[in-house]
A and B are shown apart, each in its own frame.
Chain A
Amino acid sequence: MSAWDWVSAVLLLSGSLLALAAGIGMLRFPDLWMRMHAGTKPQVLGLLLVLAGVEVQLVPDASAVVALLFVGLFQLVTAPVASHLLARAGHRSGVVPRDQLVQDDLRVFELECAAGEHPESSPPQDPGPRAEGRG
Chain B
Amino acid sequence: MGVVTDIALGILLVAALLVVVRLVKGPTTLDRAAAADVFVAILLCGVAVLVARRGSTVFVPVLLALSLLGFASSVAVVRFVGREDPVSEPDEHDETDEDHRRTTP
Contact = CB atoms under 8 A, between A and B. Distances in A.
- Say whether A associates with B: yes
Interface of A: 1, 5, 8-9, 12-13, 15-17, 19-20, 22-24, 26-27, 32, 35-36, 39, 42-43, 46-47, 50-51, 53-54, 57-58, 61, 63-64, 67-68, 70-71, 74-75, 78-79, 81-83, 85-86, 88-90, 92-95, 98-99, 107, 110-111, 114, 125, 127, 130-131, 134
Interface of B: 1, 4-5, 7-9, 11-12, 14-19, 21-22, 28, 30-31, 33-35, 37-38, 41-42, 44-45, 48-49, 51-52, 55, 57, 60-61, 63-64, 67-68, 70-71, 74-75, 78-79, 81-87, 92-93, 95-96, 99-100, 102-103
Pairs A-B, 3 closest by C-beta atoms: A23-B18, A23-B15, A78-B71
Nearest to B27: A95
A86 B49 contact: no
Given A15-B45, A82-B71, 7 more contacts: A8-B52, A16-B15, A17-B11, A26-B18, A42-B42, A57-B55, A131-B93
B66 to A, nearest CB: 8
A15 B28 CA distance: 29
